[in-house]
Amino acid sequence: MTGKDPHIHVERRVARSGGAVRGLLASTFGLVADSPSTVTTGCGIDVPYAMTSQRPESVTCLACREHAHREHLRFAEQIEMLSGMPGSPVTAAQAARAAEQHRDLAARYAR
């Protein structure tokens, strides 16, 4: 508890909270994500929501960048699996596009 952490972090559930996926999840699972006042970060601390970012270029915490990189790659695979399930409301084309977005984000976190 330093009170003056200068870094910008990512939410622990970074891949699931992004705007591109929010609508997809809402239509798939009936979930609607809200924006809490504090969040747990990828590096395991609690910070005000304002100290997090969903833009890879804005995240300065190295541990969070590595976390986000892994999360986006893993989520891309999950989306593709989801689209292959019987009765899935997500088409293969939608899943491919979403997975591509997450792989792109993963690459941006790895820079």
Shortest CB 50 distance to Zn ion, Å: 14
Cβ contact 76:103 at 8 Å: yes
Q: Which is nearer to Zn ion, 11 or 75 (CB)?
A: 11
Q: Which is nearer to Zn ion, 5 or 80 (CB)?
A: 5
Shortest CB 73 distance to Zn ion, Å: 18
Shortest CB 65 distance to Zn ion, Å: 8
Kindly list the residues in this chain that would bind Zn ion in the complex (CB under 5 A). Answer: 9, 41, 43, 61, 64
Shortest CB 109 distance to Zn ion, Å: 12
Give me the DSSP letters along 59-103: ---HHHHHHHHHHHHHHHHHHHHHHTSTT-SS-HHHHHHHHHHHH
Q: Which is nearer to Zn ion, 21 or 42 (CB)?
A: 42
Q: What is the CA radius of gyration of the chain?
A: 15
Tokens of 63: 């541990």
Q: Which is nearer to Zn ion, 33 or 43 (CB)?
A: 43
> Strands 46-48 and 38-40: what pairing?
antiparallel
